[in-house]
């Protein structure tokens, strides 16, 4: 059951059109046990990643589907479709650290369980009716912890990778998600800010 619906606060495209747009994605917010485990790892690495911009813990999430630009009408359609979706609670297992070399992104991995894949498929199927086509590439769940500043990729990752290997750092945490969220993203010079536009219960 949806606890709220998208608010009328949107980023506007420049141009002659008066149509309002927002940037949306669907994801699972982390429980404290997972956030605390990630914070312990990040604190050990902060000094080794001067050229990386660390994401804020309150923004950490597991993306289920990135929707991108949407009109208010599409946002309402998405909220209605997601509210009608039925699924059991989803176990989320965080395991391992990794990198997207070309983009200089440092992330924590999320195991692709049958339950997680099932809810992701249900969501992409539901939003297709609102005009959103799923990506062709395979679903690769992860939590973005840091990314390069400006054009410093990929050399920005080198000091961080050295510390991870020297300290043999890894991570493992898990929780059961009882809801998923519809987010609106507001890009900015210090990274994107996210606001919740809808909450949808699982189970």
What CATH number corresponds to the domain at position 102?
3.90.1140.10
pLDDT over 60 at 27, yes or no: yes
Q: How far apart are CA 95 and CA 104, in angstroms?
A: 20
* Structural domains of the chain, count: 1
**Structural domain includes residue 6:** no
For residue range 106-140, list pLDDT tens digits in order: 999 999 999 999 999 999 999 999 999 988 889 99
Domain that holds residue 161: 11-201
Q: So what's the pLDDT on residue 156?
A: 79
Q: Do residues 11 and 24 make contact, with C-beta atoms less than 8 angstroms apart?
A: no
Kindly state whether residue 2 falls inside one of the protein's structural domains: no
Question: Does 81 have pLDDT greater than 80?
Answer: yes
Per-chain mean pLDDT for the chain: 86
Confidence of residue 53 (pLDDT cuts 50, 70, 90): confident
In a domain, 109, yes or no: yes
**118 Cβ neighbours under 8 A, 6+ residues apart:** 87
**Which candidate, 95, 101, 96, 25, places its Cα nearest to that of 61?**
25
């Amino acid at each position: 059951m949806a606890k709220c619906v998208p608010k009328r606060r949107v980023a506007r495209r420049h141009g002659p059109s008066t149509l309002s747009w927002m940037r949306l994605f669907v994801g699972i917010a982390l429980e404290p046990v997972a956030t605390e485990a990630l914070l312990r790892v990040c604190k050990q690495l902060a000094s080794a990643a001067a050229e990386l911009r660390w994401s804020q813990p309150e923004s950490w999430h597991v993306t289920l589907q990135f929707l991108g630009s949407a009109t208010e009408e599409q946002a309402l359609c998405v909220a209605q479709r997601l509210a009608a979706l039925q699924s059991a609670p989803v176990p989320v297992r965080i395991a391992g650290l990794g990198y997207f070399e070309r983009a200089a992104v440092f992330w924590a991995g999320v195991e692709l369980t049958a339950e997680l894949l099932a809810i992701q498929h249900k969501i992409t199927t539901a939003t297709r009716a609102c005009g959103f086509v799923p990506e062709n590439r395979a679903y690769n769940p992860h939590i973005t912890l840091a990314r390069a500043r400006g054009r410093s990729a990929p050399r920005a990752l080198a000091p961080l990778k050295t510390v991870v290997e020297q300290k043999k750092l890894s991570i493992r945490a898990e929780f059961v998600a009882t809801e998923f969220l519809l987010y609106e993203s507001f890009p900015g010079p210090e990274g994107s800010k996210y606001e919740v536009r809808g909450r949808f219960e699982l189970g």
